[in-house]
């Protein structure tokens, strides 16, 4: 990119039709966005290798983040900007040195919303409470792509009513009747 930006979008487009037409339409859409000043910079891969190089950058994000407070959350796609703004503001008020590392799947509302620096690790519960309360206020879920996990076993009790919890356990038993996946780890 020509400059550093606060946010980047990596999109892969495909069409079963003529690749040239897709490229022309994509370039026209990007030019229109630039003209309206809703786009400040763009890069289009010119080859399969360039495309793979762009995806490598995205795949390296989790590898570059070692010790921070990690969240795998989801909110309705239309509420992603609200979530990012509200959660970031609340974290900054509570922890002035907090730094957010947010990446994910904008198309399905799944965000990896990680908070550093490492010095916040002892305060993980406080950090997560802010994030999860913001998620709940926007109608989202505290677990997304990677499932509930052991760290959220108690937290989920704040966000689900007893019937939902019972259904979650029934679904787990139906899909894993022998308890082979995460043995003994029902709520």
Give the distance, in angstroms, between the CA of residue 27 and the centroid of all CA atoms in the same chain: 27
159 pLDDT band (50/70/90 cuts)? Answer: confident
Residue 187 predicted with pLDDT over 60? no
Q: What pLDDT digit, counting tens, does each position of 45-65 carry?
A: 888 999 999 888 888 877 776
In terms of Cα–Cα distance, which of 29, 39, 53 is closest to 9? 39
The pair phi, psi for residue 106, each rounded to 5°, is: -60, -30
CATH, domain 65-147, list 3.20.20.140, 3.30.70.2740, 3.40.50.300, 3.30.540.10: 3.30.70.2740
Residue 120 predicted with pLDDT over 80? yes
pLDDT the model gives residue 11: 85
Give Cβ neighbours of residue 102 (< 8 Å, ≥ 6 apart): 84, 111, 112, 113, 114
pLDDT the model gives residue 86: 98
pLDDT the model gives residue 180: 85
* Domain map (residue ranges) of the chain: 1-64, 65-147
Cα–Cα distance, 105 to 21 (Å, whole number)? 26
pLDDT the model gives residue 172: 86
104 pLDDT band (50/70/90 cuts)? Answer: confident
Residue 87 predicted with pLDDT over 90? yes
pTM for this predicted structure:
0.75
């Amino acid at each position: 990119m020509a400059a550093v930006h606060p946010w980047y979008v990596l999109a892969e487009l495909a069409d079963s039709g003529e690749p040239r037409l897709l490229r022309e339409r994509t370039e026209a859409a990007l030019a229109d966005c630039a003209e309206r000043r809703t786009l400040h910079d763009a890069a289009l891969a010119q080859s399969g290798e360039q495309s793979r190089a762009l995806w490598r950058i995205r795949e390296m994000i989790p590898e570059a983040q070692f010790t921070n407070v990690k969240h795998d959350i989801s909110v309705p796609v239309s509420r992603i900007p609200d979530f990012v703004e509200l959660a970031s503001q609340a974290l900054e008020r509570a922890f002035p040195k907090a730094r957010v590392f947010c990446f994910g799947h904008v198309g399905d509302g799944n965000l990896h919303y990680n908070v550093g620096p490492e010095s916040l690790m002892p305060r993980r519960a406080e950090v997560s409470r802010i994030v999860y309360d913001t998620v709940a206020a926007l109608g989202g879920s505290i677990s997304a792509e990677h499932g509930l996990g052991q760290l959220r076993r108690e937290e989920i009790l704040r966000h689900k009513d007893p019937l939902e919890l019972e259904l979650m356990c029934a679904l787990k038993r139906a899909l894993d009747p022998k308890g082979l996946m995460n043995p003994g780890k029902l709520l």
